[in-house]
């Protein structure tokens, strides 16, 4: 993990501000969703990319009954591959 040297305080509601430079570099826009990972004493934020529940692919995702499925897996499941 690489240090950015940026330090931010947590406000009274538990929020922090991600600097614009980081958001631009990581292509994070307003209203984007971030995943939160925890490992021992480390918190990691990652831009959320929905993936297929079957193959973990992230292209051509469709939500069906609350589950993300890619077009390739839909074709395989319906026998149209």
Helix ranges restricted to H, the chain = 20-25, 71-78
The Cα–Cα gap between 35 and 56 comes to 16
Assign 81 a pLDDT band (cuts: 50, 70, 90).
Answer: low
CATH code of the domain occupying 1-48: 2.10.260.10
Which residue has better confidence, 3 or 37? 37
State residue 17's pLDDT score.
95
pLDDT at 79 over 90: no
Main-chain phi, psi angles of 40, to 5 degrees: 55, -110
Tens digit of each residue's pLDDT (9 = 90 or more) over 15-72: 999 999 999 999 999 999 999 999 999 999 988 888 999 998 989 999 888 889 999 9
Q: What is the pTM of this model?
A: 0.61
Cα torsion at 69, 29, 42, 8 (round to 10°)?
Answer: -170
Provide the residue ranges of all domains of the chain, joining segments of one domain with +.
1-48, 50-81
The Cα–Cα gap between 69 and 61 comes to 6
The Cα–Cα gap between 38 and 15 comes to 17
């Amino acid at each position: 993990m690489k240090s950015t040297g940026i330090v931010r305080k947590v406000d009274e509601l538990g929020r922090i501000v991600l600097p614009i430079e980081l958001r631009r570099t990581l292509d994070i826009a307003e209203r984007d969703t971030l995943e939160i990972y925890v490992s021992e004493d480390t918190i990691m934020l990652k831009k959320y990319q929905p993936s297929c529940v079957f193959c973990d692919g992230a292209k051509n995702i469709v939500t069906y009954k609350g589950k993300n499925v890619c077009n390739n897996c839909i074709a395989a499941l319906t026998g149209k591959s």
